[in-house]
Structure 1
Amino acid sequence: MKKILPLLIGCLLSVTGIAQEQQISLSMLYDKLEQHYPSADKLRIRNEITGIQQQLSQTGWYPEVTVGASTSWQSEVTEVPFVPNGPEFSQDHYTVSLDIVQPVFEAGRVSKMKRLNQIQGEVANASTEVEMQSLRRQIDQIYFGILQGRKNLEILQVLTHDLEEQLSSIESRVKNGVLLPGNKYSLEAELLKVEQQKTGVEEQIKGGFEMLSILSGAELNDRVELEIPETSGLNEENEFYRAEYELFDARQQILNSQLELSGSDKLPVITAFGKTAYGRPGFNAFDNDLHFYWMVGLKAQWSFRSWRNSDKKAQVLELEKDELQTSEDAFTRQLKAGISKQQYRIESLNKQIELDGQVLELRTKVVAEKKHQLNEGVITSTEFITELNAENRARLNLELHKIQLMQAKYEYQTLKGDIWK
């Protein structure tokens, strides 16, 4: 038992360490989103619906079989006057029938309806993919927001340390009567202000992890490490891979299919039919016995109203196609504006990062000089720590701008659709 207990404790510590050091990446969150978010189930459900609708449409080619039965009592029946001992007809009638109607020519309505159902399924799938892309963008924004929040916390922590060092120095001077207490109170108020900012950032980070947990279905907390994503070179070609274009295309195909279907309204429908029945009376009104009888034939139907309205329907559908194209053009224009904005942001951040590097280099030189002065007794440790914190802030600002640059590149690639193509 004494040997087993340390082993169990070691296992528990090992598991705890794994939980504390848990890492997650954007791609992992995308996978979790695909697996757990309800929208992902829409694709499966829609595919099942489309399959069933295809089967239903295909039945338009099958013969329609109808079984019927009837019985009735007639108050009067046919009489043959002026014929002695003429035939007598029963007042009770019975019929059991089987009717079959087989389409012979339906102007392609069935195949066009099958195609329309298939495209409607593609529209639903494209709509779901648009929704999933929107959710991925939401995850991106939260993810990078957490990364920036953590970097801001580090900057605020350095500022807190700097203020505490200055407060310690001022308290000593106030105690010795060199400074008035108001200097101390100002620093204490500034420290409280920084603590407020830290609390706000911490709550934002915690809220971000909660949102990521809800969207992805993964159990996350604010101790989880987020991998900093990497991006390849930016694709500056004027090509887009957004799911919205697939949706626009599918909707155009629906309108084209509806146009083809409306053209079928100008043509007649021809069917072959057959009927067999048992009962009385049959087609021979003078046969009063129960007997079998049947008939076969062809039938043509041509609706002049449908023929007349077909051109109007086509006109409406053409206008809807123009309207859809206008919406697509407007979407493209907004997309180009967003991409242009991100390009300028990327250029601006690159310049800031270049300047951050120069600032950090200068701050590093200042710290090296102040360290030498500290060793020589020229400056106090508080002055040295102030410069050291300034160097740390410069380094953290550089890292923060690098994260912002990474986010801007991701947003650029997201707008173009390169991330998910």
Structure 2
Amino acid sequence: MKQLIVIFAILITLPSVAQQSITLEQCYQLVIENYPLAKQTQLLDAQNKLDKEVVSTSKLPQLSLDAQATYQSDVIEIPIPNAGIEPLNKDQYRATLSVNQLIYNGGATDATLDLKSAQLKTKQKQVEVSLYQLKQQINQLYFSILLVQESELLLNAKKEQLKVKLKEVQSGIKYGVILPSSDKVLEAELLKLSQQFKELVSNKASLIATLSSLISKPLNDSVVFQNPLVETDLQTELARPELELFQLKKEEITTSENVLSKQNAPKLLGFASGGYGNPGLNMLDNSFQPFYTVGVKLNWNVFDWNSNKKQRESLAINKDIVENETEIFKLNTNIQLNQQQKEIDKIEEFIASDLEIINLRKEVLKSTDSQLKNGVITSSAYITEFTNLYEDENTLVKHKIQLQLAKANYNVIKGQ
């Protein structure tokens, strides 16, 4: 007996356990994690690591191997009779291995590494901005599904209410209180509701499939979308990732200016070269011989026709451009916020009006219902008022979802 009770309890709980649910915030998080663009963050990091390794090689010894064989039409000869100095061969050979080691370059390498880091932050923030902009698309899909979900509940309630009314009408027909065939009107309305329900199911399946692809998470048609309680805060400042992107762009420009300031610094290098050839360093020795040279050299670009200065001036203009873009973005965003706030206020007024209309419709339907039971009116007149109430209730549901969508979009625009 106890085993049967346990099995029965499991069977009852299975549907509720299997039923899937999801929230708006989860959709936001999933699209950030799973959207294909999100992979670029790691790719950019790997690319930047390789770029830095390439830049860092300038601090390591640079090796070069050269080999050559030549034949020349004439060679140097010593015009002294009986000097015993053999003339050089016209065919000459040489192989050398050279090593150059950077000793000092004014910090140009470190400045370039800093620039690579700044560029990585800018590119990764751009990815974040692009992912953030998907939030409004998520909002549109999520609240469209919510609207279908709420419409299904309302349609089911209407269907059940019509079924009850159909039984009452059939009973009235049986006892001669209501005109015959009055039930046919209600049956036709029930068939129409079935069509509407199929259309809702189809629309919901399409919306869920689109959202599922966007967030890369399997969602079945029975998933429950939680209705969020969205609130807006008019007092907080803008917190959009685009503002952080603009700041990172300015920091990148500052780092580029630092690189340019190091560009004309003197460069000190040590070098060594060893080789084997005929002739060697001793041009009078006409044989194969080893040789080597070591030393240091200084390279300093003293005058560059103000090229470096003009590049820095160009970067300063770029910084002004970014400042201008920031101002434009703030202006446009505040305009969007004002428009969205007006939309919220308008929908809230609609909802207040909807509630008044529905209360009036209920009073009318109550009177119509009494008249139908007493055979004063036909079922067609009842259906008309019943449908009016349903449409107004559906409008209220639509406005409530639109209000939540408007608030969610407001928060996305503001960066909350």
Q: Output the TM-score relative to the length of structure 2.
A: 0.79
Secondary structure, in 3 states, of the residue corresponding to 1:33?
Answer: helix
Alpha-carbon separation, structure 2, partners of 1:194 and 1:264: 76
User: Which of 257, 281, 304 is residue 283 of structure 1 equivalent to?
Assistant: 281
Q: Relative to structure 1, is the Cα distance of residues 237 and 17 closer, same or farther in structure 2, using a 3 angstrom cutoff?
A: closer
Alpha-carbon separation, structure 1, partners of 2:244 and 2:260: 24
Instruction: Report deviation, 1:162.
Output: 10
Root-mean-square deviation (CA), in Å?
A: 4.2
Q: Among all aligned residue pairs of Structure 1 and Structure 2, give the percentage whose two residues are the same amino acid.
A: 26
What is residue 415 of structure 1 aligned with on the other side? 413
What is residue 118 of structure 2 aligned with on the other side? 119
What is residue 138 of structure 1 aligned with on the other side? 137
C-alpha contact 2:266 2:298 (8 A) present in aligned 1: no
Letter of the structure 1 residue corresponding to residue 118 of structure 2: I
What is residue 268 of structure 1 aligned with on the other side? 266
Q: Output the TM-score relative to the length of structure 1.
A: 0.78
Alpha-carbon separation, structure 2, partners of 1:227 and 1:390: 28
Greater shift in the superposed pair: 373-382 or 10-19: 10-19
Secondary structure, in 3 states, of the residue corresponding to 2:306?
Answer: helix
Query: After the TM superposition, which residues 383-394 of structure 1 pair with which residues of structure 2 at under 5 Å, given as runs?
Result: 387=385, 390-394=388-392
Gaps of 5+ in 2: 1-5, 170-183
Greater shift in the superposed pair: 265-274 or 10-19: 10-19
Deviation readout 1:271-306 (Å, 9 max, x if unpaired): 2222223333333322344133323122324163x4
Alpha-carbon separation, structure 2, partners of 1:193 and 1:125: 53
Query: Does 2:205 match 1:206?
Result: yes
Alpha-carbon separation, structure 2, partners of 1:63 and 1:307: 31
Alpha-carbon separation, structure 1, partners of 2:299 and 2:329: 48
Q: Relative to structure 1, is the Cα distance of residues 392 and 204 closer, same or farther in structure 2, using a 3 angstrom cutoff?
A: closer
Alpha-carbon separation, structure 2, partners of 1:72 and 1:119: 50
Deviation readout 1:125-174 (Å, 9 max, x if unpaired): 112111211223211111111222344556677889999999xx9xxxxx
Matched residues, number? 398
Query: Does 2:100 match 1:95?
Result: no
Query: Does 2:400 match 1:402?
Result: yes
Instruction: Report deviation, 1:266.
Output: 3.8
Secondary structure, in 3 states, of the residue corresponding to 1:286?
Answer: coil
Instruction: Report deviation, 1:202.
Output: 4.9
Alpha-carbon separation, structure 1, partners of 2:406 and 2:27: 19
Instruction: Report deviation, 1:62.
Output: 2.1
User: Which of 305, 308, 319 is residue 306 of structure 2 equivalent to?
Assistant: 308
What is residue 217 of structure 2 aligned with on the other side? 218
Alpha-carbon separation, structure 2, partners of 1:203 and 1:333: 41
Deviation readout 1:238-276 (Å, 9 max, x if unpaired): 522212122222222222222232333443333222222
Gaps of 5+ in 1: 1-6, 170-183
Instruction: Report deviation, 1:336.
Output: 0.7
C-alpha contact 1:269 1:302 (8 A) present in aligned 2: no
Instruction: Report deviation, 1:376.
Output: 8.0
Letter of the structure 2 residue corresponding to residue 123 of structure 1: T
User: Which of 374, 383, 386 is residue 377 of structure 1 equivalent to?
Assistant: 374
Query: After the TM superposition, which residues 21-420 of structure 1 pair with which residues of structure 2 at under 5 Å, given as runs?
Result: 21-91=19-89, 92-152=91-151, 202-231=201-230, 233-237=231-235, 239-289=237-287, 290-302=289-301, 304=303, 306-365=304-363, 373=370, 377=374, 382=379, 387=385, 390-418=388-416
Secondary structure, in 3 states, of the residue corresponding to 2:134?
Answer: helix
C-alpha contact 1:252 1:324 (8 A) present in aligned 2: yes
C-alpha contact 1:275 1:296 (8 A) present in aligned 2: no
Instruction: Report deviation, 1:362.
Output: 4.2
Q: Relative to structure 1, is the Cα distance of residues 82 and 31 closer, same or farther in structure 2, using a 3 angstrom cutoff?
A: same
Q: Relative to structure 1, is the Cα distance of residues 13 and 76 closer, same or farther in structure 2, using a 3 angstrom cutoff?
A: farther
Secondary structure, in 3 states, of the residue corresponding to 2:102?
Answer: strand
